[in-house]
């Protein structure tokens, strides 16, 4: 983009020089037509130079606003999936099941405490001398609604699958990864940047898809979780919100 600006500025300077030369050496009858044409070219190139700076600035404003909205929903999806995994042991395969879970599921509230009891086996081994051992007891205190815990009085979880400002939904998958013969549940929710920025300049979207930066969202999509790694964080930097 900087190279384009330099070229445009150079052409403007050259055109102004031509205007001066025309004014100096061209016959008076021809001057008005050529002068008007060249000044029109100057204004056009000036407009192109201005837009080459202005459009990326506006693009970034739109991008940052929409990314923030998308990330809010990805965080809600992650929180809901983590609750589903905590209660059921697996991640939900689709949004219908996830919403139904939030509507109906409850956390079990427990309390852990240590206690001392007689160790019957050791007591027998030592001829009736009473021996003890430490144990951990888990008491069930009650339950609490998942919906109330995560969303309180809000019903935004019913629309968390919808990508803001579009008619699209997030793509969501769940399954298992094998690690040391252990099946570990995983999930991923994602949306392409092109979907989020559907009404923006195509060249700027292509540039955004190629971003590699600690301050940007790398890759061509915003996502949380992974189907190839055991992780539940998002791929956005801290400037957009908590990715953990």
Strand partners of residue 222: 191
Q: How far apart are CA 190 and CA 235, in angstroms?
A: 10
* 20, 33, 218 from 23: Cα distances, Å: 5, 11, 53
Which pLDDT does position 115 carry in this prediction? 66
Radius of gyration for the chain, computed over Cα atoms and rounded to the nearest angstrom: 32
Per-residue pLDDT of the chain (244 residues; tens, 9 = 90+): 555 556 556 666 666 666 666 666 666 666 666 667 666 766 766 666 666 667 888 999 999 999 999 999 999 999 999 999 999 999 999 999 999 999 999 876 546 667 677 777 777 777 776 767 777 665 555 578 999 999 999 999 999 999 999 999 999 999 999 988 899 999 999 999 999 999 999 999 999 999 888 888 999 999 999 999 999 999 999 888 777 7
For residue 66, how far is the Cα from the chain centroid? 10
Which pLDDT does position 39 carry in this prediction? 65
**Separation of first and last alpha carbons in the chain:** 35
E-only strand ranges, the chain? 106-118, 132-145, 171-179, 182-192, 221-225
Apex CA 25: angle with CA 24 and CA 30, to 5°?
105
Select from 209, 136, 165, 206 the least CA-distant residue to 65: 165
* Cβ proximity of 70 and 163 under 8 Å: yes
Which pLDDT does position 62 carry in this prediction? 95
* Cβ proximity of 196 and 66 under 8 Å: yes
- The pTM for the full model equals 0.72
* 51, 71, 98 from 207: Cα distances, Å: 17, 20, 35
């Amino acid at each position: 983009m900087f190279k384009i600006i330099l070229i445009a500025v150079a052409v403007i300077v050259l055109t102004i020089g031509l205007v001066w030369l025309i004014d100096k050496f061209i016959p008076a009858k021809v001057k008005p037509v050529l002068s008007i044409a060249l000044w029109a070219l100057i204004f056009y190139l000036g407009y192109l130079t201005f837009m080459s700076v202005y459009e990326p600035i506006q693009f970034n404003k739109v991008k940052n606003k929409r990314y923030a909205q998308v990330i809010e929903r990805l965080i809600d999806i992650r929180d809901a999936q983590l609750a589903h995994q905590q209660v059921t042991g697996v991640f939900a395969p689709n949004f219908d099941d996830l919403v139904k879970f939030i509507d109906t599921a409850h956390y079990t509230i427990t309390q852990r405490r240590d206690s001392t009891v007689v160790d019957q086996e050791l007591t027998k081994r030592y001829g009736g001398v009473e021996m003890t051992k430490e144990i951990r007891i888990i008491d069930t205190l009650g339950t609490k609604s998942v919906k109330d815990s995560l969303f309180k009085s809000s019903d935004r979880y019913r629309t968390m699958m919808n990508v803001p400002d579009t008619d699209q939904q997030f793509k969501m998958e769940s399954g298992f990864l094998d690690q040391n013969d252990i099946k570990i549940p995983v999930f991923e929710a994602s949306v392409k940047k092109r979907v989020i920025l559907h009404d923006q300049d195509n060249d700027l979207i292509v540039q955004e898809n190629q971003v590699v930066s600690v301050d940007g969202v790398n890759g061509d999509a915003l996502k949380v979780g992974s189907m190839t790694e055991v992780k539940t964080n998002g791929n956005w930097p801290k400037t957009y919100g908590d990715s953990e």
